């Protein structure tokens, strides 16, 4: 049986995860193809790539790596960028 305090911790963790997924989609600067893919991992991957890029020396878990892979594989095309003239 799960105690009330543990249930509250699980709810808090799930709430944070959902918030990261939502923010990940808001921060995505590219068009994403989510058909047939795990939308939660794509959103989390976008969050990791776009919101946490300042943490370069941070340990990355296997779950985070999978989320980043899903996000990167869902990118349809890079946005138009100005020509650098090279």
pLDDT in tens, 22-78: 988 988 888 899 999 999 999 999 988 887 664 555 667 788 888 888 888 888 765
**Interval 14-25 mean pLDDT:** 89
The structural domain count of the chain equals 1
- 70 falls within a domain: yes
- 38 falls within a domain: yes
Domain that holds residue 66: 24-75
| CA torsion angle 29 78 32 76 (round to 10) | 170
Of residues 35, 43, 34, 33, the one with CA closest to residue 66: 43
Q: Where are the beta strands (DSSP E) in the chain?
A: 31-32, 75-77
Query: Taking the model in full, what pTM does it have?
Result: 0.61
Instruction: Give yes or no for a contact between 70 and 25, defined as CB atoms under 8 angstroms apart.
Output: no
């Amino acid at each position: 049986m799960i105690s009330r305090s543990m249930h509250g911790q699980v709810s808090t963790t799930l709430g944070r995860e959902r918030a990261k997924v939502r923010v990940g989609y808001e921060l995505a600067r590219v068009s994403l193809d989510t058909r047939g893919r795990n939308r939660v991992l794509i959103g989390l991957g976008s969050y990791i790539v776009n919101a946490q890029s300042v943490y370069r020396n941070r340990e990355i878990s296997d779950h985070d790596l999978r989320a980043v892979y899903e996000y990167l594989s869902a990118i349809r095309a890079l946005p138009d960028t100005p020509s650098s003239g090279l």
